[in-house]
Copies of this chain bind each other. A is one copy, B any other.
Amino acid sequence: MTMPAPDTSRPSAISVADRLTQHVLGTMTPGMRLPSEADLAERYGVSRVTMREAVKMLAGRGLLDVARGRRAIVRQPDGSVFAEFLTSLLRSDPKCLFDLIQVRRSLEVQSVTLAARHASRAGIMAAEAALDRMRAAAEAGRSGADPAAQTRFHQADADFHEALALSSGNRVLSYLFEGMALPLRESFYASHRGQQLRGLSLADSVTAHAHILACVSSGDVKGASDAMSKLIDDAERDIRAAYSPESLDGGDGKGDRLRRSAASVASSAADGRSDGALSNTASPTLSANKRFP
């Protein structure tokens, strides 16, 4: 008896969102444009308001790109959804950072292993280009006052690992790395707020990455995976060292300080799609009024 009236308790906006999701996933491809809201509303037999809510749900899920004046277009899947999930997870429980690093090691090892087995010339060249950018940023950071050097370094670092993932030929791996890059970097900044990395460590990192790339190019699977494992281990140790004096198992156990620091930094989790996420700080209306219940 599935016949009764479950639609009374099921808001039609949700139902329409599900049906639209099925349609988009089933019969449309990235880049295609949806019909107008008015059309969709008529087709699904709901008002434009309800239709807009359904479309907004899909947009929030990352399936659609909506903009004023233009009809919505189907988004290409990317790591941004995963990135947002990780960001919210790390905010609610900063200790998960180390869990994430563990997972990342596992995936990075998988990535270099596959890349060493069958890396294309293009992939290796992309990794080499990223490595060059890392080198340049490390130089700039060591020589003197270039506050943006560290950011450039991390960006190049992420590019390097994404190039490797691309070389692995595993698309899921690519999306995962793309999604992990930003949350990891934000957590990193949150732990080192204000702290500067030493130029030496950057140079060491460049050396380690170069070694990994050499192993990949020469097809040295074991060498590549071992080197990668060591690299991530070192990174974890650094981050753990930066965290431990701060709080964590210090005894209070609340972790509120970490939460605040994470919250202050991690506003750009929303990736490229919603670039304006950074511009808006906390609502003045909210801070002026009383807290939520």
Contacts and interface: CB of A to CB of B under 8 A. Distances in A.
A218 interface: no
A103 B289 contact: no
**Copies of this chain in the oligomer:** 2
Interface residues of A, number: 88
Contact of A27 (B10, B53, B81, B291): B291
Contact of A276 (B10, B62, B109, B277): B10
Contact of A33 (B30, B81, B85, B293): B293
Nearest to A85: B81
Contacts of A44: 283, 285
A216 B154 CA distance: 37
A164 B286 CA distance: 42
Contact of A171 (B9, B28, B96, B276): B96
Interface string A120-162: 0000000000000000000000000000000000000000000
A69 B141 CA distance: 56
Interface string A242-259: 000000000000000001
A34 B25 CA distance: 31
A280 B18 contact: yes
Interface string A3-46: 00010011101110111111101111110111100000001110
Nearest to A98: B170
A89 B172 contact: yes
A193 to B, nearest CB: 16
B57 A88 contact: no
A157 to B, nearest CB: 20
Nearest to A74: B92
A102 B285 contact: no
Contacts of A270: 18, 21
A44 B52 CA distance: 20
Interface string A213-229: 00000000000000000
A188 interface: no
A234 interface: no
B60 A289 contact: no
22 contacts: A18-B276, A19-B282, A22-B277, A23-B282, A25-B87, A26-B282, A27-B282, A30-B92, A35-B293, A43-B283, A43-B289, A44-B283, A54-B56, A57-B60, A58-B60, A77-B89, A89-B171, A99-B170, A102-B170, A102-B173, A103-B173, A106-B109
